[in-house]
Amino acid sequence: MEKIDGDLNKKAAGEKAVEFIKDGMVLGLGSGSTVYWTLKKLGELVEQGLNVKGIPSSKRTEGWAKDFNIPLTDFSQVQSMDLAIDGADEIDKDFNLTKGGGGSLVREKIVDANSQKLIIVADQSKLVSQLGKFPLPVEVLPFGWEVTARKISEMGATPVLREREGSVFVSNNGNYILDCDFNLIADPGLLHKELKQLLGVVETGLFINITDTIIISGDKGIEVLHKKK
Ligand SMILES: O=C[C@H](O)[C@H](O)[C@H](O)COP(=O)(O)O
């Protein structure tokens, strides 16, 4: 069995999110070690009779959902979900996010953006005043990735091809990830748009303006923050 980050704040935030799940909902199932705790708790509720279905945002999440007997569906059955619950690598004061530390950013963005509501679960270390300390994950096509990386470096970043255990990391979509240190990101929306215009870029880990609620666990206990409309 895979070893999961047992950080108590991740566990607390992840578990809290199930309070927002209602019977009959179709859910977007995010990725990462905080969402793992959401899935585990959700499995207990399913066992007690809660009727939900989920679309997983990664193969890892799909595996966990199956382990916890959470019924799954896909985009051939439903095009819009009631609620997505996902993790993040950084969260700024405007609820914009950096995601993709685990390499699941493309499927996460498709799932999160097609949900009526997005709840982000995280420990307090993820809160930042400005995005950018965590190098921005950018998913790129393997073909010509060297050119794409050079174009990104001309935008002021230092892209590093992600590797795991000595091999190039390959995403669930068969692509590569460039971890791009832009230093602090002054305008995340603009940077996302500029990166998306580069040939070879599939998607960026900047999630702008799609988060409704953040569940943070830390020194002050669990806080539920709603975005002001
Ligand atoms: O690709 C991975 C995802 O964006 C995760 O949601 C993110 O990295 C946070 O993961 P964790 O909850 O393990 O810190």
Query: Is residue 2 assigned to a domain?
Result: no
| Residue 3 maps to a domain | no
**Pick from 129, 131, 151, 55: which is nearest to 90 by CA?**
131
Which residues are catalytically annotated? 108
One domain, residues 110 and 214 = yes
Which atom in ligand 1 lies closest to the alpha carbon of residue 121? 12
pLDDT at position 54 is 98
In a domain? residue 84 = yes
Q: Please check whether residues 35 and 78 belong to one and the same domain.
A: yes
Cα 42 from Cα 58, distance rounded (Å): 17
Q: Is 88 annotated as a binding residue?
A: yes
| Amino acid code (one letter) for 115 | S
Give the end-to-end CA distance of the chain in Å, rounded to a whole number: 42
Q: How far is the CA of 160 from the centre of ligand 1 (A)?
A: 19
Q: Which atom of ligand 1 is nearest to the CA of 99?
A: 4
Q: Tell me how far the alpha carbon of residue 104 lies from the centroid of ligand 1, in angstroms.
A: 8
Residues 94 and 142 in one domain: no
Distance 139 CA to ligand 1 centre (A): 15
Domain-embedded: residue 101: yes
Residue 226, beta-bridge partner list: 213
Per-10-residue mean pLDDT, the chain, length 229:
79 98 98 98 98 98 98 96 98 98 98 98 98 98 98 97 97 98 96 98 98 96 93
Pocket of ligand 1 (CB under 6 A): 10, 30-34, 86-89, 99-105, 108
- Rounded CA separation 134/200 (Å): 22
141 shares a domain with 99: no
- CA 111 to chain CA centroid, Å, is 9
- Residue 229 has a pLDDT of 76
Element (H, E) at 196: helix 188-196
Structural domain span for residue 79: 8-127+208-218
User: What is the CATH number for 95?
Assistant: 3.40.50.1360
Asked if 32 and 87 count as a contact pair (C-beta separation under 8 A), the reply is yes
Whether 79 contacts 114, CB under 8 Å? yes
ipTM for the predicted complex:
0.98
26 & 97 share domain: yes
How confident is the model at residue 5, as a pLDDT?
73
User: What is the count of structural domains for the chain?
Assistant: 2
Q: Do 103 and 38 share a structural domain?
A: yes
Q: CATH number for the domain including 151?
A: 3.30.70.260
Give the pLDDT of residue 1.
Answer: 56
Residue nearest ligand 1's atom 3 by CA: 100
Q: In this structure, is residue 121 part of a structural domain?
A: yes
Same domain, 155 and 97: no
